[in-house]
Structure 1
Amino acid sequence: MEKQQVSYWELEGTYQEIGKQMAKQPEKNHIYIPAPEKFGGKEMEEAFQLYDRYCPGIREELEGYAQEAGIAVRDIAYTWMTYLVPGCSGLILTGKKTDDGHTKIARNYEFTLEDEDLKLYRTAPAGKYAHISGSIVGFGRTEGINEKGLAVSMTSCGFPVSNLPGMRAPVLKGLQFWAVIRSLLENCGDAKEALEKVMEMPIAYNINLFLADCSGTGILFETMNGEKAYTSIGPEDEKQYLCGTNHIVIEKLVSREPAAMENSIVRRDRLTAFAEEENRIRESGLRELLLKKYPEGMRANYYAEGFGTIKSVILDTAEKRYSICWLGQEKNGWTDYFVPEKRGDYAEEKDMEIEKADPQFFAIRPLM
């Protein structure tokens, strides 16, 4: 076992004030990354025009951070990496499928530790919805739940898209997933409103986006190279769950990338079997599934290969609750955060386990 430090922070005020608060935090290595030469003044202005329209307030937050930290806005990683990763699993269960009647999203998030913040934020921008969420490159969000009970999560759909070397290059100008998720949490009150917003957003990342709210509505939205599709469930539907891992699941888009990694197919099959096993699923069973080691569960310890469990999360739309087990280790325990509740900033150490992956884990299988 090794140790990793994780932390929780509370941010509140105008976006500029929030940016200045972030600049006073330690461990800025994931935030300050000088921009490449190709990201010049023209590209930055295009990026800010996009952010101002679809992620209002983020420009002021970046400027507040830069002012307090004494760096150029251009050299904040979010500024140039968002204008256009990880492997994850996601499951939406409506209230008719859970023993407590609460609609929930469950997800595991796998990636490499070198590129992770290992932070949670309770963010309450003035005039926007407060939310608790995981962070990436400081200003971005990986999943979360807001004060209205809207839960948002994601998985990569196919090979991750990025403007970093070694990733799939974007085919259109648009947003990274972490900007999309934060915008939805701050500006949307329910899943249908969030769907309307993503349908109009230019999204460069290929994403499986999970949306749920306390009305019992669940939506799985997919985009592949700019083409979009979605499927939804509600209280009156026969099916009361949706799930996805790291490949296309909506039939309309399958021909766009008709293959997937072995582990992605196995994990989705396991999620489907789990959802079909019982009429009413207990959260204790859901937590057990997330922490159980692959292939029986969702946890993986392959950090060196870029596929180690960073966090296991359950978002409860009725309680407005964000529950997390860091690094997929049962001994780290689960911590519950509630959007209306402030608890103060803190940091702590958590255990992690590292293993080497079998090459078959990453083998490619056809979907069609």
Structure 2
Amino acid sequence: MYHPRLYGSFYDMGYKYGNLLHKKAGFKLPHIETRQKDFGEESMVELQRFYPEIMDEIYGFADGIKDHPYNVASFLLSLVAFDYNGRCSVFAFKNRDSMVIGRNYDMLFQFKKFTESSLIAPTNKLAYISQSDVFIGRSDGINEKGVFIAMSFVNGTTIQPGVSFHFIVRKVLENAYNIEEAITIIKKAKAASSNNFLIADANGDMAIVESAPEKTHVIKPTEGKAYLHITNQFASKEMQPYDKGKVGWSKSIERYQGIYQSLKELSKLDLQKAKEILSDPCVCLNLRQEKFGTIWSVVAELNSLTIERAETKPRITNYKTETRLDWWLKKQSKKLDK
């Protein structure tokens, strides 16, 4: 897993990371087919509308790897349409005085070599720690205000040129101070594909946003319920018409029920218990025949910004504490004190 620290202007962050990958790893974009370019170029119009700053980062990254920005954008924006297989499990649990989250990211084992956990701190935006298996876009993360977001793929009925989840997650992390702001951002995106987003914050609020090109639906916990969780299907009746299913091979229902059984009786959840849930064979995928399974896992307590990550199949003992966000915030605080 790569561990870049990226800060400054969007262009500078893109150029720094692209140039680093180009020089150190000889990075080049995979071959981009005509249909990918067409889909990507149509999607760029929506990305420019939704989050124009990110286009500067794409231009910087393209300069860093000595390629054309349209090729970089087309590759990134067409992933959800032509080459995306992620399956994930996510939960949030509200204690009396804290919010704890857990997240498994499930993907083809071959993608392990592309995974990264990044500290990203754009100028005049919120800083955050986030994970991904593709440069620039994000799959989950926690920002300095204690806002957490993670996505899970849903096999929807429609794919359209639009904003992929990678950039929706990024805009939330860089701009949202609470879940209401996060929900507003997600709703403004013209979604390219169907996904669940689980969001939670240090205020003790949480929600699921079921997002499809046709419609968006928000789920909040009922009174007295302390948790929410997602896997790879829409849970609400409102969104059932937009879910094709056919994800049984990834044990989505079994994982959903496994998390439910673990959380429903709890009166309190700490990081140790969160690790146990994510490591349970019912939740943690290891599909050897399909060469598919959990390739990273994150637990966190949002109020203290305590973050721990397993950078492979999670076990209770293989999580490491994330310190870069704390380092960045202390660094910024010292600047203000001078």
The two structures have a TM-score, normalised by structure 2, of 0.86
For residue 272 of structure 1, report the CA deviation from its aligned partner.
0.9
Matched, 1:150 2:136: no
Question: Is 1:15–2:2 an aligned residue pair?
Answer: no
Paired with 1:341 and 1:119, the residues of 2 have a C-alpha distance of 18
Residues 311 and 303 of structure 1, relative CA distance in 2, 3 Å threshold = farther
What code does the residue aligned with 2:304 have? E
1:105 to 98, 101, 112: 101
Q: Which residue number in structure 2 is paired with residue 88 of structure 1?
A: 88
Superimposed CA distance per residue, residues 109-140 of structure 1 (whole angstroms, 9 cap, x where no aligned partner): 11113335221100011111111000232111
Structure 1 stretches of 4+ moved >6 Å: none
Q: Indicate the percent of aligned positions where both proteins have the same amino acid.
A: 21
Larger fraction in strand? 1
Residue 64 of structure 2 is aligned to residue 68 of structure 1: yes
Residue of structure 2 in register with 1:56 after alignment: 52
Residue 336 of structure 2: aligned partner: none
Q: Distance in 2 between matches of 1:130 and 1:35?
A: 32
Distance in structure 1 (CA, Å) of the matches to 2:288 and 2:131 = 19
Render the CA deviation track for 1:243-291: whole Å, top value 9, x for unaligned: 1111111121124337452711111111111111221123211101111
Choose from 262, 267, 279 the match for 1:279.
Answer: 267
The alignment partner of 1:280 has SS state of coil
Q: Which amino acid aligns with 2:141?
A: G
Task: Quote the residue 1:316 is aligned against.
Answer: 301
Contact 1:245 1:265 in 2 (8 A): yes
How far apart are residue 105 of structure 1 and its match? 2.0
Number of matched residues?
A: 318
Aligned Cα root-mean-square deviation (Å): 2.5
Distance change >3 Å, CA 193–CA 335, structure 1 → 2: same
SS at 1:57 equivalent: helix
Q: Cα offset for 1:332? A: 6.7
CA contact (8 A) 1:244 1:268 kept: yes
Change (3 A) 1:279 1:28: farther
Per mean C-alpha deviation after superposition, the further-off stretch among 249-258 and 276-285 is: 249-258
Question: Which residue does the alignment assign to 2:193?
Answer: 205
Tell me the equivalent position of 1:359. Answer: none
Q: What's the CA shift string for 1:148-182, capped at 9, x where partnerless?
A: 111001111236xxxxxxxx8x4332121111101
Evaluate the alpha carbon distance shift between residue 310 and residue 185 of structure 1 in structure 2; reply closer, same or farther with a 3 A threshold: same
> Which residue pairs with 2:237 in the alignment?
251
Bigger shift: residues 260-269 or 323-332: 323-332
* Residue equivalent to 1:126: 123
Task: Note if contact 1:315-1:321 (Cα within 8 Å) is conserved in structure 2.
Answer: yes
Task: Summarize the Cα distance change of 1:250–1:141 in structure 2 as closer, same or farther, 3 Å threshold.
Answer: same
CA distance in 2, matches of 1:258, 1:80: 22
**In 1, Cα distance between equivalents of 2:186 and 2:270:** 31
The structure-2 alpha-carbon separation of the partners of 1:212 and 1:243, relative to structure 1 and needing over 3 Å to count, comes to: same
Aligned pairs for 1:1-368 (under 5 A) are 6-23=1-18, 24-25=20-21, 26-27=24-25, 29=27, 32-40=29-37, 46-76=42-72, 78-81=75-78, 85-96=85-96, 101-116=97-112, 117-158=114-155, 170-233=158-221, 237-257=223-243, 259=245, 261=248, 263-293=251-281, 295=282, 298-302=283-287, 305=290, 307-330=292-315, 333-338=318-323, 339-342=325-328
Judging by fraction of residues, say which structure has more helix. 2
Q: Is the 8 A contact 1:157 1:222 kept in 2?
A: no
Counterpart AA for 1:128: K
TM-aligned CA distance change 1:206 to 1:342, over 3 Å: same
Label 1:282 to 1:321 Cα distance change in 2 as closer, same or farther (>3 A).
closer
Contact 2:36 2:75 in 1 (8 A): no
By relative contact order (CA 8 Å, sep 6+), the higher-ranking structure is 1
Partner SS for 2:14: helix
Could you tell me how far 1:55 is from its partner in structure 2?
A: 2.4
